[in-house]
Amino acid sequence: MADIRFDERVAIVTGAGVGLGRSHALGLAARGAKVVVNDLGVATDGTATGSDAAQAVVAEIEAMGGTAMAHGADVSDAEQVADMVAQTMDRWGRIDILVNNAGILRDKTFGKMTLDDFAKVVDVHLQGTATCCHAVWPHMRAAQYGRIVLTASASGLYGNFGQSNYGAAKAAMMGLMNVLHLEGARDNIRVNTLAPTAATRMTESLMPPEALELLQPETITPGLLYLVSDDSPSRTILGAGAGVFAQTRVYETTGHFVEGDITPEAVAANWDKITDPTGQEELPDAFGQTRKFAKRAAEAKGVKLDW
C-alpha cells in the first residue's frame, strides 16, 4: 500500500496547542501538509490563560522542516473563525482538511450543573464544530474536495457520569456527520467522526498511571490521518485508543407491526419482537427508516407499496 501523504494539502486543526490536537497537527505536517494550528489558549474549563501553545506547535513543525501558522480563534465565535479561514486562504489559497478537535470540560452531575455550564460546553463542542465546518464549506465545494473530521467521545456514544453537557455535545457529532456526509458527497467532501480515548489534560485525573502510559495521543493520530486521506471513507465513526481501532455503528432492529389497536399495552406485549436483533441493519438516512416502517405496515395489511 502506498504511503498516505498530504503534500500540497492545507489543514486546519482546532485545539491544536496541546494533547490530541497537537499530535494531529504534527502528524499532518510530518506527512507534508501545511497546517493551521488553532488554539485559543484556555484551561480545560474554557477560561483564558493567555497560553502561547499554538505558536509553540508551529515552532515544532517548522523545526522539522514543515510549514504552519498559528491562529487563536475561539471556535464558537463566527467572526474569529471567519478571520482564521480568510487568513488561511490569503496565505495558501485553499483548505483541504478540517479537524475539529477543540473542546472544554465542565463536569458536574446534572442536578448540580448550572445551565450556563451546560450551554458553554455545548457551544464550544457543537456550535464551534458547526461554525468551523460552515466557514470552510464553500471553499471545499468550490475545490470539489474536502476532508472533515468531527470529534466525538464514548461519553456521547455510551454515556459517562457527570458529563451530561459534554455527552450531549459529543452525541450530536453523529447527527451532524450524517447530514454533512449526505450534503457533501456530490462535491467530494467526506465527513467522518473520531471517538478517541486518550491521555490528555482532560483525562489525566480520571485514569491510573498505567492506562495513561498506554493511551498516548500519538496512538490515535494514525486513525485520524486515515480519515482525512484521499482514499478515506465517509460517514464513519472510528473509535481509537492505545493503538486499538474500532468502528462504531448504529443499528435498528427489523421491527414488528402491532396488529389491532395500537396501544401502549400492545407495545408492551410485543416488546420481545420489537427488540429482537435478528436481521437488524444500518439505515442510509432518515427516510430509510420511514420507508421501512411504511413497507412493514403495508406488508402486514396486504397493501402493495412501491416506495
* CATH number, position 267: 1.10.287
Q: Is residue 3 part of a domain?
A: no
End-of-domain residue from the set 198, 232, 247: 247
180 and 95, same structural domain?
yes
Backbone angles phi, psi at 185, to 5 degrees: -55, -40
Query: Are 219 and 268 part of one and the same domain?
Result: no
What the block records as the C-alpha cell of 79 is 467572526
The CATH number assigned to the domain holding 154 equals: 3.40.50.720
Q: Where do the H-state alpha helices sit in 19-146?
A: 19-30, 53-63, 78-92, 115-122, 128-143
Sign of CA pseudo-dihedral 175, 11, 147, 149: negative
One-letter amino acid of 291: R
- Same structural domain for residues 99 and 22? yes
Task: List the domain range (segments joined by +) for residue 264.
Answer: 251-307
The answer on 189 and 79 residing in a single domain is yes
Does residue 48 sit in the same domain as residue 166?
Answer: yes
Residue 265 burial (10 A CB sphere; 0-12, 13-18, 19+): exposed
Of 204, 232, 247, the domain-final residue: 247
Q: Of 247, 273, 288, which residue is a domain's last?
A: 247
Q: Are residues 138 and 275 in the same domain?
A: no
From first to last of its 307 residues, what are the pLDDT tens digits of the chain? 899 999 999 999 999 999 999 999 999 999 999 999 999 886 776 776 555 899 999 999 999 999 999 999 999 999 999 999 999 999 999 999 999 999 999 999 999 999 999 999 999 999 999 999 999 999 999 999 999 999 999 999 999 999 999 999 999 999 999 999 999 999 999 999 999 987 655 556 666 677 678 889 999 999 999 999 999 999 999 999 989 999 999 999 999 999 999 999 999 999 999 999 999 999 999 989 999 999 889 999 899 888 8
Let me know if residue 156 belongs to a domain: yes
The alpha carbon torsion through 181, 183, 187, 189 (nearest 10 deg) reads -30
Number of domains in the chain: 2
Q: Could you tell me if residue 303 is inside a domain?
A: yes
Entry pTM = 0.93
Does 266 share its domain with 206? Answer: no
* 110's grid cell: 446534572
Q: Which residues are catalytic?
A: 166
133 within domain boundaries = yes
Residues 230, 182 share a domain: yes
